[in-house]
């Protein structure tokens, strides 16, 4: 069973490898593809490529730490445990929740400060 970040990287490779050809990708390409709201970091991307290669999901011609020459295998193409869309939705939903909590805390602080100012004005009068 693959980790969530490994599935995301595998799906990125599958979507870019046409008919088993090797492609050259960089960690920054994958990181940009995942977007700002992703919780996957560059170290996890490197780990995912290494794990996918050792598990037989991809072929690896070279790896210089930042750039990979990879191709997908039949095993990688046929991996259907969970779709990429579901993985991205989980990551985005979690980050959206955090965003809303931060927003709510700022609004709560603003409202609390406004009430404190209002009460201090009333008590002075």
In tens, the pLDDT along 29-83 reads 888 887 766 778 888 889 999 999 999 999 999 989 889 999 988 888 888 654 5
Contact between 76 and 57 (Cβ < 8 Å): yes
CATH number of 4-124: 1.10.10.10
The runs of H, that is alpha helices, within the chain are 4-16, 27-34, 42-54, 74-77, 84-124
DSSP 8-state symbol, 67: E
DSSP 8-state symbol, 18: -
Q: What's the whole-model pTM score?
A: 0.60
Burial of 59 from C-beta contacts in 10 A (0-12 / 13-18 / 19+)? middle
Residue ranges of domains in the chain = 4-124
């Amino acid at each position: 069973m693959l980790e969530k970040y490994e599935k995301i990287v595998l799906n990125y490779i599958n979507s870019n490898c046409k008919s088993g050809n090797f492609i050259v990708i960089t960690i920054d390409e994958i990181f940009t593809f995942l977007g700002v709201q992703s919780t996957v970091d560059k170290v996890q991307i490197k780990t995912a490529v290494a794990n996918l290669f050792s598990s037989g999901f991809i072929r690896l011609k070279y790896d210089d730490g930042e750039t990979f020459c990879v191709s997908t295998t039949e095993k990688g193409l046929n991996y259907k445990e969970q779709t990429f869309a579901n993985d991205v939705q989980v990551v985005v939903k979690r980050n959206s929740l955090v965003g809303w909590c931060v927003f709510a805390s700022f609004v709560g602080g603003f409202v609390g400060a406004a009430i404190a100012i209002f009460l201090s004005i009333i008590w002075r009068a």
